[in-house]
Structure 1
Amino acid sequence: MLCDQSPVKRSTIKVLKSGERVILSPQVTVQRYLLVFYWAINVGAFFGLATSYAAYNVGFWLAFLTPGIFYMLMPLVLWVCYKRLVRFAPQGSVVLEAFKACRSLFKDGNSANLFKRGNAFWENARPSAIASRGGDLSGVTWDDKFIDDLQRTMAACKVFRNIPIFNLANSGLGNSVNAMSSAMTLGGVPNDLIQNWNALTIVCCAPLINYGLYPAFSKMGYPISPMWRMTIGFTLGGLNMIYGGVLQTRVFLAASMQPVTECALGVSPISLWLQVPLFSLPALGEIFVNVTSYELAYTRAPPRMKGLVYAFCLFTTAISSAIGLACSAAVTDPYLVEPYWVLAALSLACGLDKEVNFFDPSLTSIKQDKAEVDVEETREKR
């Protein structure tokens, strides 16, 4: 709904008061909307720090009441903004029809064409192709356009296949980060306090990236394309795991323990504050990976399948959580260092995976916008 509020639906030229001609880009506008959105939800997440102290110093009743008040105000805010919101009528779910079409795709041994280039695989479910080979159309409730949209949807979802790896590199595998903090010197600081640096980093850095980094590179003629943003995010996730592996090794050594001993035998003199980069580095990566994935889900998915693509995008969080839970029993001392190296290698490898880029990586959004404007200007001249 937030992205639907964008007034820029196609690339157009706007003349500023200074006389400068600029391009209003739909994709860049949505990108900025989503960066502001991600900044806002992390402002809310950072208030978890105040909630913890409210529960400790006053009581749980205040910790529950404060966010409850904010939630109760939201219907009033939506009622005030209702007339100014862009609203689209519900189009119904396409999930059932998509499953039927996918079942038709794999009929008659067509699965052999799945990894071949071209449209041979998708032709198997097009009503026009089914009719041309004398097939039965009685159970077909879709048209050729639906298959085209389904093909674009599957291509759009390819970019999400590596995000579970980033999520694991974001928070560590299992309880590895908590296990490390339990063997560090707290200095009177709760071991869950450092986690708030994730939200704090996003709150501080998202505006700098939104209004500084991205516009600066665009003005220089080198806009940071979605491909490069994803690569930067996965690289930050890999560097985060490398730092975690080094820090965990230092914790073992500083506590005069070898990896074959138990952490309960001693506490490392290393301060808990050295864990701050473990939450700050992946927070920067989230700005590049998560926000970009939301952007691609909205801009690349067919209009009637945006909800389905967003569902796949958010489902990656469930996948990474399930992997983390499945590995939590195994990620214990003395096997606390190895998961960091494994996730570091996987995250860095995913950053180099060009197969997830289902659009032409050489054609940035600004080049696309300029091409669209040139076509429109030529049409107007004619």
Structure 2
Amino acid sequence: MLNSSRNIHAYEKTLKSGERVIVDPELTVERMFYWAVNIGALSPLITVNVEASVSFWLAFLIPLIVIVIVAALFLGSNRLFLKIKPQGSPLVDAARTVRIALAEKSFENAKPSQLEQHGTLERYPFANRPEYTDYSVEKIRTGITACKLFLLFPFYFICWTQIWNNLISQAGQMALHGTPNDLLQNLDPIALIIFIPLLDLVIYPLLRRSKINFRPELKVTAGFLMASLAMVYASVLQHYIYISPPNSIHVWIQAPAYVLVGFSEAFVIITGLEIAFTKAPESLRSLVSAVFWLTIGIAAAICIALAPVSQDPYLVWMYGSLGIVAFVAGVLFYLLFRRAFDDPVLQESLQAPVREGSRV
């Protein structure tokens, strides 16, 4: 982390309006990181046109030059980072905690206060360590709960990956008028770059002032439904491509599908990262975040299995089926996990507004 004298921990702040907020600089960095990633994702606006007008070698050379420059800057700023010495494996400690919880039938019974009350504390040498506390056990429990929340995310990412493969192929069947068929995928990061600040600065504050509690499970469900609409739109568009003369439909008619997927990311991916960040113990945040990103790999594997139907003449049904799957998965997510955020402490950490960056 950056070596700075500023407060890097979450703290409460009262605004001039009397509104109480929670400021978490670390979560701000997490949110801004994803926003910055999507700014970088706009690079195809340059490389696609360079490839079309010059050659592939220059299109590959441009990102190489950028990577070398950034790597040099990172190495040159080494002294600005605070380096923490290794302190053992949090994964091993978490596994030991889970083992105790399994032996005691629940995480509640695995807490040292309960072990001592039941006279079973001496059974577990690890439970007698100073770092083993009721709070640490509770955070391991919430971290595991966070991983459960990602169970249905692969069904969202199956739809999300379509903007990087099948929708590009679909564009190739349309009237391009000089537009590269892989250019429209840049609408996804553009939509995100606009939509994320719009949510944080306008929409979420308006909802809070209107006393509307837009809980995390509602955000994720909304994202699934937007992805479903994107696939339904792609299915209808593919139908008209089939029944129209070849290359007669303008490629920019695809735009709503990309924008809808981009908007859905602001609800699903951003909220997923917040869940991983707030529900996992600090020592396991990277692991829980890795589980979140693993769902993309699972979705990619499913897409490979769908390859036989990801071609003509099955694309209408393929897109339509994905729309149905995303809709059902979104409804299931709400039904299964609508109580997962009832913990008042978790609600506060996920929904309280912040002003020095993004929400907690």
Q: Which residue matches 1:120? A: 105
**Cα distance between partner residues in 2 of 1:369 and 1:134:** 37
Q: Does residue 356 in structure 1 map to residue 334 in structure 2?
A: no
- The Cα of 1:174 is off from its aligned counterpart by 9.9
Pick from 218, 221, 227 the counterpart of residue 217 of structure 2.
227
**Cα distance between partner residues in 1 of 2:191 and 2:351:** 32
**Cα distance between partner residues in 1 of 2:98 and 2:47:** 47
**Cα distance between partner residues in 2 of 1:367 and 1:293:** 11
**Cα distance between partner residues in 2 of 1:190 and 1:177:** 13
**Cα distance between partner residues in 1 of 2:13 and 2:204:** 20
1:89-110 CA-partner distances (Å, limit 9, x unpaired): 4444333454465566667xxx
Alpha-carbon spacing, 1:221–1:82, altered in 2? closer, same or farther (3 Å): farther
What is the SS of the residue equivalent to 2:178? coil
Pick from 255, 262, 272 the counterpart of residue 293 of structure 1.
272
Q: Which residue matches 2:154? A: 164
What is the SS of the residue equivalent to 1:25? strand
8 Å CA contact 1:245, 1:340 repeated in 2: yes
Alpha-carbon spacing, 1:51–1:367, altered in 2? closer, same or farther (3 Å): closer
- The Cα of 1:317 is off from its aligned counterpart by 1.1
**Cα distance between partner residues in 1 of 2:55 and 2:169:** 28
**Cα distance between partner residues in 1 of 2:350 and 2:90:** 33
- The Cα of 1:211 is off from its aligned counterpart by 2.3
8 Å CA contact 2:140, 2:280 repeated in 1: no
Alpha-carbon spacing, 1:14–1:195, altered in 2? closer, same or farther (3 Å): closer
**Cα distance between partner residues in 2 of 1:361 and 1:273:** 45
8 Å CA contact 1:32, 1:210 repeated in 2: no
**Cα distance between partner residues in 1 of 2:30 and 2:147:** 19
1:163-202 CA-partner distances (Å, limit 9, x unpaired): 2111112233995434433432333322212212112222
- The Cα of 1:219 is off from its aligned counterpart by 3.7
8 Å CA contact 1:51, 1:63 repeated in 2: yes
**Cα distance between partner residues in 1 of 2:127 and 2:208:** 47
TM superposition score normalised by structure 1: 0.74
Alpha-carbon spacing, 1:140–1:339, altered in 2? closer, same or farther (3 Å): farther
- The Cα of 1:45 is off from its aligned counterpart by 0.9
Q: Does residue 365 in structure 1 map to residue 355 in structure 2?
A: no
| RMSD, aligned α-carbons | 3.7
- The Cα of 1:332 is off from its aligned counterpart by 2.6
8 Å CA contact 2:139, 2:279 repeated in 1: no
Alpha-carbon spacing, 1:155–1:61, altered in 2? closer, same or farther (3 Å): same
**Cα distance between partner residues in 2 of 1:297 and 1:271:** 41
Q: Does residue 36 in structure 1 map to residue 37 in structure 2?
A: no
**Cα distance between partner residues in 2 of 1:60 and 1:176:** 22
Code of the residue aligned with 2:13 in structure 1: it is T
Q: Which residue matches 1:12? A: 13
What is the 5 A alignment of 1:263-282?
A: 267-282=246-261
Q: Which residue matches 1:336? A: 315
TM superposition score normalised by structure 2: 0.78
Alpha-carbon spacing, 1:300–1:103, altered in 2? closer, same or farther (3 Å): closer
Q: Does residue 66 in structure 1 map to residue 58 in structure 2?
A: no
Worse-superposed segment, 155-164 or 311-320: 155-164
Q: Percent identity?
A: 27
Code of the residue aligned with 1:295 in structure 2: it is E
Q: Which residue matches 2:357? A: none
Alpha-carbon spacing, 1:368–1:316, altered in 2? closer, same or farther (3 Å): closer
Q: Which residue matches 1:319? A: 298
Q: Which residue matches 2:170? A: 180
- The Cα of 1:316 is off from its aligned counterpart by 1.1
Alpha-carbon spacing, 1:286–1:31, altered in 2? closer, same or farther (3 Å): farther
Alpha-carbon spacing, 1:188–1:236, altered in 2? closer, same or farther (3 Å): same
**Cα distance between partner residues in 1 of 2:253 and 2:39:** 23
Code of the residue aligned with 1:290 in structure 2: it is I
Q: Which residue matches 2:22? A: 25
**Cα distance between partner residues in 2 of 1:360 and 1:163:** 21
1:325-359 CA-partner distances (Å, limit 9, x unpaired): 12112333332122222222222233332323522
Code of the residue aligned with 1:41 in structure 2: it is V
Q: Does residue 55 in structure 1 map to residue 45 in structure 2?
A: no
**Cα distance between partner residues in 1 of 2:180 and 2:351:** 50
Q: Number of residue pairs matched?
A: 342
Q: Which residue matches 1:210? A: 200
Q: Does residue 154 in structure 1 map to residue 124 in structure 2?
A: no
Q: Which runs of 5+ in 2 are unaligned?
A: 354-360
1:108-156 CA-partner distances (Å, limit 9, x unpaired): xxxxxxxxxxx83446867875995699657989846554333221112
**Cα distance between partner residues in 2 of 1:26 and 1:159:** 25
What is the SS of the residue equivalent to 1:191? coil
Alpha-carbon spacing, 1:60–1:246, altered in 2? closer, same or farther (3 Å): closer
Worse-superposed segment, 96-105 or 284-293: 96-105
1:52-90 CA-partner distances (Å, limit 9, x unpaired): 222333344433333233323334544665566566544
Code of the residue aligned with 1:25 in structure 2: it is I
